[in-house]
Protein backbone atom coordinates (compact mmCIF):
# COMPACT_ATOMS: atom_id res chain seq x y z
CA UNK A 1 0.00 0.00 0.00
CA UNK A 2 1.35 3.46 -0.84
CA UNK A 3 1.78 6.06 1.89
CA UNK A 4 -1.00 8.08 0.31
CA UNK A 5 -3.40 5.15 0.39
CA UNK A 6 -2.50 4.40 4.01
CA UNK A 7 -3.07 8.03 4.93
CA UNK A 8 -6.42 7.93 3.16
CA UNK A 9 -7.36 4.77 5.07
CA UNK A 10 -6.32 6.33 8.36
CA UNK A 11 -8.34 9.45 7.54
CA UNK A 12 -11.40 7.29 6.89
CA UNK A 13 -10.86 5.37 10.10
CA UNK A 14 -10.20 2.11 8.32
CA UNK A 15 -9.91 -0.38 6.92
CA UNK A 16 -9.38 -2.30 10.07
CA UNK A 17 -7.74 -5.57 8.93
CA UNK A 18 -9.86 -7.67 11.34
CA UNK A 19 -13.03 -6.02 10.00
CA UNK A 20 -11.91 -6.65 6.42
CA UNK A 21 -11.33 -10.31 7.23
CA UNK A 22 -14.73 -10.62 8.92
CA UNK A 23 -16.44 -9.13 5.86
CA UNK A 24 -14.40 -11.21 3.42
CA UNK A 25 -15.33 -14.39 5.31
CA UNK A 26 -19.05 -13.58 5.17
CA UNK A 27 -18.96 -12.40 1.56
CA UNK A 28 -16.03 -13.92 -0.35
CA UNK A 29 -17.90 -13.48 -3.66
CA UNK A 30 -21.36 -12.37 -4.83
CA UNK A 31 -22.70 -15.94 -5.18
CA UNK A 32 -21.76 -16.87 -1.62
CA UNK A 33 -23.33 -13.66 -0.32
CA UNK A 34 -26.50 -14.42 -2.29
CA UNK A 35 -26.68 -17.91 -0.74
CA UNK A 36 -26.06 -16.50 2.75
CA UNK A 37 -28.80 -13.87 2.30
CA UNK A 38 -31.08 -16.61 1.01
CA UNK A 39 -30.37 -18.64 4.18
CA UNK A 40 -31.62 -15.70 6.30
CA UNK A 41 -34.85 -15.72 4.26
CA UNK A 42 -33.97 -12.74 2.05
CA UNK A 43 -34.09 -13.60 -1.64
CA UNK A 44 -32.10 -11.57 -4.14
CA UNK A 45 -31.35 -11.65 -7.85
CA UNK A 46 -27.85 -11.33 -9.30
CA UNK A 47 -28.09 -7.55 -9.65
CA UNK A 48 -29.01 -6.92 -6.02
CA UNK A 49 -26.59 -9.45 -4.54
CA UNK A 50 -23.75 -8.00 -6.63
CA UNK A 51 -24.60 -4.46 -5.54
CA UNK A 52 -24.66 -5.50 -1.87
CA UNK A 53 -21.41 -7.41 -2.32
CA UNK A 54 -19.72 -4.30 -3.72
CA UNK A 55 -21.08 -2.17 -0.87
CA UNK A 56 -19.43 -4.57 1.59
CA UNK A 57 -16.17 -5.05 -0.20
CA UNK A 58 -15.29 -1.64 -1.60
CA UNK A 59 -16.60 -0.57 1.01
CA UNK A 60 -19.03 2.15 -0.04
CA UNK A 61 -22.47 3.27 1.17
CA UNK A 62 -25.32 1.95 -0.94
CA UNK A 63 -28.56 3.74 -1.77
CA UNK A 64 -31.51 1.42 -2.38
CA UNK A 65 -34.58 2.81 -4.09
CA UNK A 66 -37.77 1.07 -5.10
CA UNK A 67 -41.51 0.98 -4.57
CA UNK A 68 -42.83 0.43 -1.04
CA UNK A 69 -42.50 -3.13 0.18
CA UNK A 70 -39.89 -4.42 -2.29
CA UNK A 71 -37.44 -5.26 0.50
CA UNK A 72 -35.26 -2.15 0.89
CA UNK A 73 -35.28 -2.12 4.69
CA UNK A 74 -35.08 -5.89 4.84
CA UNK A 75 -31.88 -5.82 2.74
CA UNK A 76 -30.04 -4.03 5.57
CA UNK A 77 -31.45 -6.41 8.15
CA UNK A 78 -30.37 -9.42 6.10
CA UNK A 79 -26.87 -7.97 5.59
CA UNK A 80 -26.42 -7.50 9.33
CA UNK A 81 -27.59 -11.08 9.91
CA UNK A 82 -25.12 -12.42 7.35
CA UNK A 83 -22.23 -10.41 8.82
CA UNK A 84 -23.22 -11.28 12.39
CA UNK A 85 -22.93 -7.62 13.50
CA UNK A 86 -25.54 -5.22 14.87
CA UNK A 87 -28.12 -3.45 12.74
CA UNK A 88 -28.35 0.19 13.80
CA UNK A 89 -31.33 1.97 12.34
CA UNK A 90 -32.00 5.63 11.87
CA UNK A 91 -35.58 6.23 10.76
CA UNK A 92 -35.71 9.56 8.94
CA UNK A 93 -38.61 12.02 9.17
CA UNK A 94 -39.33 15.62 8.38
CA UNK A 95 -37.50 17.75 10.97
CA UNK A 96 -34.93 15.12 11.94
CA UNK A 97 -31.82 16.98 13.03
CA UNK A 98 -28.18 16.12 13.54
CA UNK A 99 -28.53 15.89 17.33
CA UNK A 100 -31.14 13.15 17.10
CA UNK A 101 -29.03 11.27 14.58
CA UNK A 102 -25.70 11.72 16.34
CA UNK A 103 -25.67 12.34 20.07
CA UNK A 104 -27.29 14.23 22.89
CA UNK A 105 -26.06 15.02 26.36
CA UNK A 106 -27.93 13.20 29.08
CA UNK A 107 -29.28 16.32 30.76
CA UNK A 108 -31.12 14.69 33.70
CA UNK A 109 -28.03 12.64 34.49
CA UNK A 110 -25.82 15.73 34.33
CA UNK A 111 -28.14 17.48 36.81
CA UNK A 112 -27.99 14.48 39.08
CA UNK A 113 -24.20 14.54 38.82
CA UNK A 114 -24.17 18.19 39.90
CA UNK A 115 -26.48 17.53 42.85
CA UNK A 116 -24.45 14.55 44.01
CA UNK A 117 -21.19 16.50 43.78
CA UNK A 118 -22.78 19.36 45.75
CA UNK A 119 -24.12 17.09 48.47
CA UNK A 120 -20.74 15.43 48.85
CA UNK A 121 -18.94 18.74 48.74
CA UNK A 122 -16.82 17.51 45.83
CA UNK A 123 -15.44 19.89 43.19
CA UNK A 124 -16.96 19.50 39.75
CA UNK A 125 -15.40 20.94 36.61
CA UNK A 126 -17.46 21.59 33.49
CA UNK A 127 -15.36 19.04 31.60
CA UNK A 128 -16.51 16.36 34.10
CA UNK A 129 -20.08 16.88 32.90
CA UNK A 130 -19.22 16.53 29.22
CA UNK A 131 -17.59 13.16 29.54
CA UNK A 132 -18.40 9.89 27.83
CA UNK A 133 -20.64 8.73 30.71
CA UNK A 134 -23.10 11.55 29.98
CA UNK A 135 -23.18 10.99 26.22
CA UNK A 136 -26.28 9.46 24.65
CA UNK A 137 -25.15 7.82 21.45
CA UNK A 138 -27.76 8.14 18.74
CA UNK A 139 -27.61 5.82 15.70
CA UNK A 140 -24.90 7.49 13.61
CA UNK A 141 -22.49 7.83 16.52
CA UNK A 142 -23.36 4.33 17.77
CA UNK A 143 -22.46 2.93 14.35
CA UNK A 144 -19.20 4.91 14.13
CA UNK A 145 -18.08 3.83 17.59
CA UNK A 146 -19.07 0.18 17.29
CA UNK A 147 -15.82 -1.59 18.21
CA UNK A 148 -16.04 -4.46 15.73
CA UNK A 149 -14.36 -6.55 14.53
CA UNK A 150 -17.59 -7.17 12.60
CA UNK A 151 -18.78 -3.81 11.27
CA UNK A 152 -22.20 -2.52 12.22
CA UNK A 153 -24.76 -2.05 9.47
CA UNK A 154 -26.06 1.52 9.67
CA UNK A 155 -29.50 1.69 8.06
CA UNK A 156 -30.53 5.24 7.19
CA UNK A 157 -34.12 4.45 6.37
CA UNK A 158 -36.27 6.66 4.12
CA UNK A 159 -33.72 9.43 3.70
CA UNK A 160 -36.11 11.18 1.28
CA UNK A 161 -38.26 12.11 4.31
CA UNK A 162 -35.49 14.11 5.96
CA UNK A 163 -34.73 17.64 4.79
CA UNK A 164 -31.82 19.16 2.85
CA UNK A 165 -29.85 20.20 5.94
CA UNK A 166 -29.85 16.69 7.23
CA UNK A 167 -28.67 15.38 3.88
CA UNK A 168 -25.75 17.83 3.97
CA UNK A 169 -24.83 16.70 7.47
CA UNK A 170 -24.94 13.09 6.38
CA UNK A 171 -22.70 13.85 3.47
CA UNK A 172 -19.95 14.97 5.81
CA UNK A 173 -20.27 11.91 7.98
CA UNK A 174 -20.20 9.59 4.97
CA UNK A 175 -17.23 11.34 3.43
CA UNK A 176 -15.02 11.21 6.53
CA UNK A 177 -16.46 8.35 8.60
CA UNK A 178 -15.91 10.73 11.49
CA UNK A 179 -17.81 13.36 13.45
CA UNK A 180 -16.75 16.25 15.61
CA UNK A 181 -18.30 16.69 19.03
CA UNK A 182 -17.31 20.15 20.25
CA UNK A 183 -16.88 19.05 23.87
CA UNK A 184 -15.03 15.83 23.10
CA UNK A 185 -13.20 16.37 19.82
CA UNK A 186 -13.26 14.33 16.62
CA UNK A 187 -14.53 10.78 16.79
CA UNK A 188 -13.23 8.56 13.98
CA UNK A 189 -14.86 5.28 13.11
CA UNK A 190 -12.96 2.43 14.74
CA UNK A 191 -14.45 0.17 12.09
CA UNK A 192 -16.13 1.81 9.11
CA UNK A 193 -19.81 0.81 9.25
CA UNK A 194 -21.64 -0.68 6.30
CA UNK A 195 -24.07 2.08 5.33
CA UNK A 196 -27.40 1.31 3.65
CA UNK A 197 -29.63 4.24 2.71
CA UNK A 198 -33.16 3.68 1.48
CA UNK A 199 -35.53 6.01 -0.32
CA UNK A 200 -39.08 5.77 -1.63
CA UNK A 201 -38.31 8.63 -3.97
CA UNK A 202 -40.83 11.05 -2.57
CA UNK A 203 -38.20 13.60 -3.56
CA UNK A 204 -34.93 13.41 -5.47
CA UNK A 205 -31.75 13.30 -3.43
CA UNK A 206 -28.81 15.56 -4.09
CA UNK A 207 -26.21 14.53 -6.63
CA UNK A 208 -23.48 15.08 -4.04
CA UNK A 209 -25.00 12.39 -1.82
CA UNK A 210 -25.58 10.06 -4.74
CA UNK A 211 -22.01 10.49 -5.89
CA UNK A 212 -20.77 8.99 -2.63
CA UNK A 213 -23.09 6.00 -2.83
CA UNK A 214 -23.53 2.94 -4.95
CA UNK A 215 -27.07 2.86 -6.30
CA UNK A 216 -29.49 0.02 -6.86
CA UNK A 217 -33.13 0.17 -7.89
CA UNK A 218 -34.98 -2.83 -6.44
CA UNK A 219 -37.65 -3.97 -8.86
CA UNK A 220 -40.82 -5.76 -7.87
CA UNK A 221 -39.62 -9.39 -8.04
CA UNK A 222 -40.73 -11.84 -10.71
CA UNK A 223 -43.59 -14.28 -10.01
CA UNK A 224 -41.40 -17.22 -9.10
CA UNK A 225 -39.47 -15.23 -6.50
CA UNK A 226 -42.60 -13.72 -4.95
CA UNK A 227 -44.07 -17.23 -4.55
CA UNK A 228 -40.82 -18.35 -2.91
CA UNK A 229 -40.82 -15.33 -0.56
CA UNK A 230 -44.43 -16.04 0.44
CA UNK A 231 -43.69 -19.70 1.10
CA UNK A 232 -40.69 -18.81 3.25
CA UNK A 233 -42.47 -16.09 5.21
CA UNK A 234 -45.71 -18.00 5.78
CA UNK A 235 -44.57 -21.59 6.25
CA UNK A 236 -48.11 -22.89 6.91
CA UNK A 237 -49.49 -21.65 3.57
CA UNK A 238 -50.27 -24.10 0.78
CA UNK A 239 -48.17 -23.88 -2.39
CA UNK A 240 -51.33 -23.37 -4.44
CA UNK A 241 -52.43 -20.45 -2.26
CA UNK A 242 -49.04 -18.74 -2.53
CA UNK A 243 -49.16 -19.05 -6.32
CA UNK A 244 -52.76 -17.83 -6.58
CA UNK A 245 -52.15 -14.86 -4.28
CA UNK A 246 -49.08 -13.87 -6.30
CA UNK A 247 -51.09 -13.96 -9.51
CA UNK A 248 -53.98 -12.00 -7.94
CA UNK A 249 -51.63 -9.30 -6.64
CA UNK A 250 -50.01 -9.07 -10.05
CA UNK A 251 -53.48 -8.52 -11.59
CA UNK A 252 -54.29 -5.91 -8.95
CA UNK A 253 -51.10 -4.05 -9.77
CA UNK A 254 -52.36 -3.49 -13.32
CA UNK A 255 -55.22 -1.33 -11.93
CA UNK A 256 -54.63 2.35 -11.26
CA UNK A 257 -54.68 2.00 -7.48
CA UNK A 258 -53.61 4.76 -5.09
CA UNK A 259 -51.50 2.23 -3.25
CA UNK A 260 -50.70 -0.89 -5.26
CA UNK A 261 -50.06 -3.81 -2.88
CA UNK A 262 -46.44 -4.92 -2.52
CA UNK A 263 -44.75 -7.93 -1.03
CA UNK A 264 -45.57 -6.90 2.54
CA UNK A 265 -49.32 -6.86 1.77
CA UNK A 266 -49.02 -10.17 -0.10
CA UNK A 267 -47.40 -11.76 2.97
CA UNK A 268 -50.17 -10.34 5.17
CA UNK A 269 -52.84 -11.61 2.78
CA UNK A 270 -51.45 -15.15 2.66
CA UNK A 271 -51.13 -15.11 6.48
CA UNK A 272 -54.73 -13.96 6.90
CA UNK A 273 -56.09 -16.50 4.41
CA UNK A 274 -54.07 -19.27 6.07
CA UNK A 275 -55.41 -18.33 9.51
CA UNK A 276 -58.90 -18.59 8.01
CA UNK A 277 -58.05 -22.09 6.76
CA UNK A 278 -58.16 -21.14 3.08
CA UNK A 279 -56.10 -23.40 0.81
CA UNK A 280 -57.33 -22.27 -2.63
CA UNK A 281 -58.22 -18.65 -3.35
CA UNK A 282 -61.92 -18.09 -4.15
CA UNK A 283 -63.72 -14.83 -4.91
CA UNK A 284 -65.58 -14.91 -1.53
CA UNK A 285 -62.29 -15.24 0.36
CA UNK A 286 -60.87 -12.30 -1.52
CA UNK A 287 -64.02 -10.33 -0.79
CA UNK A 288 -63.94 -10.81 2.99
CA UNK A 289 -60.21 -10.22 3.33
CA UNK A 290 -59.74 -7.38 0.83
CA UNK A 291 -58.88 -4.94 3.65
CA UNK A 292 -55.68 -6.86 4.34
CA UNK A 293 -54.50 -6.13 0.83
CA UNK A 294 -55.98 -2.80 -0.25
CA UNK A 295 -56.00 0.12 2.18
CA UNK A 296 -57.95 2.89 0.43
CA UNK A 297 -61.70 3.01 0.07
CA UNK A 298 -61.40 4.24 -3.54
CA UNK A 299 -59.12 1.30 -4.28
CA UNK A 300 -61.72 -1.10 -2.84
CA UNK A 301 -64.30 0.38 -5.19
CA UNK A 302 -61.95 0.02 -8.15
CA UNK A 303 -61.26 -3.64 -7.34
CA UNK A 304 -64.93 -4.46 -6.78
CA UNK A 305 -65.88 -2.69 -10.03
CA UNK A 306 -63.33 -4.75 -11.91
CA UNK A 307 -64.66 -7.88 -10.19
CA UNK A 308 -63.44 -10.32 -7.57
CA UNK A 309 -63.72 -13.28 -9.94
CA UNK A 310 -61.31 -11.45 -12.24
CA UNK A 311 -59.05 -10.84 -9.25
CA UNK A 312 -58.78 -14.49 -8.29
CA UNK A 313 -58.45 -15.56 -11.91
CA UNK A 314 -61.65 -17.60 -11.98
CA UNK A 315 -63.52 -17.88 -15.30
CA UNK A 316 -66.40 -15.33 -15.46
CA UNK A 317 -69.87 -16.65 -15.08
N1 LIG B 1 -36.45 -10.24 -1.38
C2 LIG B 1 -37.15 -10.54 -0.29
N3 LIG B 1 -36.98 -11.70 0.35
C4 LIG B 1 -37.70 -11.99 1.45
N5 LIG B 1 -38.62 -11.19 2.00
C6 LIG B 1 -38.83 -10.01 1.40
C7 LIG B 1 -38.12 -9.62 0.24
N8 LIG B 1 -38.54 -8.40 -0.14
C9 LIG B 1 -39.46 -8.05 0.75
N10 LIG B 1 -39.65 -9.01 1.69
C11 LIG B 1 -40.59 -8.93 2.81
O12 LIG B 1 -41.57 -7.97 2.47
C13 LIG B 1 -41.83 -7.12 3.57
C14 LIG B 1 -41.57 -5.68 3.18
O15 LIG B 1 -40.18 -5.46 3.01
P16 LIG B 1 -39.49 -4.11 3.47
O17 LIG B 1 -40.11 -3.60 4.70
O18 LIG B 1 -38.03 -4.36 3.47
O19 LIG B 1 -39.87 -3.20 2.24
P20 LIG B 1 -39.42 -1.70 1.95
O21 LIG B 1 -38.96 -1.68 0.53
O22 LIG B 1 -38.51 -1.23 3.00
O23 LIG B 1 -40.82 -0.97 2.04
P24 LIG B 1 -41.18 0.54 2.49
O25 LIG B 1 -40.75 1.41 1.36
O26 LIG B 1 -42.66 0.50 2.66
O27 LIG B 1 -40.43 0.79 3.76
C28 LIG B 1 -40.98 -7.60 4.73
O29 LIG B 1 -41.79 -8.39 5.56
C30 LIG B 1 -39.93 -8.43 4.07
O31 LIG B 1 -39.57 -9.46 4.91
MG1 LIG C 1 -38.69 0.24 4.45
pLDDT for 2 equals 47
User: Quick check: CB of 155 below 6 Å from ligand 1?
Assistant: no
Residue 180 CA, ligand 1 centroid: distance in Å: 35
DSSP reduced 3-state for 141: helix
pLDDT for 1 equals 46
* Per-residue pLDDT reduced to its tens digit, 40-61: 999 999 999 999 999 999 989 9
Q: Are residues 83 and 157 in the same domain?
A: yes
Beta pairing partners, 87: 153
pLDDT for 15 equals 59
Q: Are residues 187 and 244 in the same domain?
A: no
Tell me if 295 is assigned to some domain: yes
Among residues 164, 163, 154, 160, the alpha carbon closest in space to that of 62 is found at 154
CATH code of the domain in which 69 resides = 3.40.50.300
Q: Are residues 88 and 235 in the same domain?
A: no
pTM score, whole prediction: 0.88
- Examine the pLDDT at 12 and tell me if it is beyond 80: no
Distance CA 189, CA 141 (A): 9
Domain range enclosing 198: 3-93+143-217
User: Quick check: CB of 226 below 6 Å from ligand 1?
Assistant: no
> φ, ψ for residue 148 (rounded to 5)?
80, -160
User: Quick check: CB of 69 below 6 Å from ligand 1?
Assistant: yes
Q: Are residues 168 and 239 in the same domain?
A: no
Tell me if 132 is assigned to some domain: no
- Which of 197, 217, 237 is a domain's end point? 217
Q: Are residues 306 and 160 in the same domain?
A: no
All residues at 6 or more sequence positions from 213 whose CB lies less than 8 Å from its CB, including other chains: 60, 61, 62, 63, 174, 195, 197
- Quick one: which ligand is closest to 270's CA? 1
Q: Are residues 188 and 307 in the same domain?
A: no
Tell me which residue has its CA closest to atom 9 in ligand 1: 71
Residue 250 CA, ligand 1 centroid: distance in Å: 16
User: Quick check: CB of 199 below 6 Å from ligand 1?
Assistant: no
All residues at 6 or more sequence positions from 177 whose CB lies less than 8 Å from its CB, including other chains: 12, 13, 14, 144, 188, 189, 192, 193
Question: Among the atoms of ligand 1, which is closest to the Cα of residue 41?
Answer: 4
Q: Are residues 235 and 175 in the same domain?
A: no
Distance CA 146, CA 154 (A): 10
36, containing H or E segment: helix 30-39
* Per-residue pLDDT reduced to its tens digit, 111-143: 999 999 999 998 888 888 888 889 899 999 999
Torsion sign across C-alpha atoms 58, 98, 69, 232: positive
Q: Are residues 65 and 194 in the same domain?
A: yes
User: Quick check: CB of 78 below 6 Å from ligand 1?
Assistant: no
Q: Are residues 306 and 201 in the same domain?
A: no
Tell me which residue has its CA closest to atom 13 in ligand 1: 264
Tell me if 133 is assigned to some domain: no
* Per-residue pLDDT reduced to its tens digit, 166-199: 988 888 888 888 888 888 888 888 898 999 999 9
Tell me if 235 is assigned to some domain: yes
Residue in 35, 36, 46, 264 to alter for ligand 1 test, most ligand atoms within 8 A of Cβ: 264
What letter does residue 169 receive in the DSSP assignment?
Answer: H
All residues at 6 or more sequence positions from 144 whose CB lies less than 8 Å from its CB, including other chains: 13, 173, 177, 178, 179, 187, 188, 189, 190, 193
- Which of 187, 217, 247 is a domain's end point? 217
What's the structural domain count of the chain?
2
Distance CA 74, CA 70 (A): 9
* Per-residue pLDDT reduced to its tens digit, 289-313: 999 999 999 999 999 999 999 999 8
Amino acid sequence: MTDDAAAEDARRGGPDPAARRAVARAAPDPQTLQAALDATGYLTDTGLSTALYLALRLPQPILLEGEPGVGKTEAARALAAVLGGPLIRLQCYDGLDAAEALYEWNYPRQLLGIRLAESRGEPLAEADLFADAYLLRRPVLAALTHPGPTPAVLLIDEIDRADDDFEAFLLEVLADASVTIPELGTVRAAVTPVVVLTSNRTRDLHDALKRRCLYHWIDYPDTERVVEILRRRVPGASAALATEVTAAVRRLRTLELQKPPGIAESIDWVSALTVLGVERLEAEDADRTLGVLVKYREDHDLVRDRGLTWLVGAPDG
